[in-house]
Amino acid sequence: MKYRKRCFDRIEGIMVEDKALSAKVDRLRSEAEEKTAEMGAQEECLLDLNRRLANKDRERRGQSCAPSSCKKPRSHFS
């Protein structure tokens, strides 16, 4: 009889531990999803900043040279 009670106690302990581990896995999974979303948002922000920087750089290069020296004149015979 004592053996049977010990077995049930061990099973009960394992079930409690399993529930605790399942809760921890759920919490960690949720945190990972949040971090993934944050990283995605940061990546989008960085891409936007890179695009804006590239556009400003293009604008600056376009303004820094005179139109006659930057562009080849178009010929109507080409």
b/e code 45-67 from CB counts within 10 Å (16+ = b): eeeeeeeeeeeeeeeeeeeeeee
Q: What is the pLDDT of residues 4-45, one digit of tens each?
A: 999 999 999 999 999 999 999 999 999 999 999 999 999 999
Q: What is the pLDDT of residues 38-74, one digit of tens each?
A: 999 999 999 999 999 999 999 999 876 555 545 555 5
> What pLDDT shows up at residue 8?
93
Instruction: Give the whole-angstrom CA distance, residue 49 versus residue 43.
Output: 10
Q: pTM of this prediction? A: 0.55
Rounded to the nearest angstrom, the gap between the alpha carbon of residue 69 and the centroid of all alpha carbons in its chain is 44
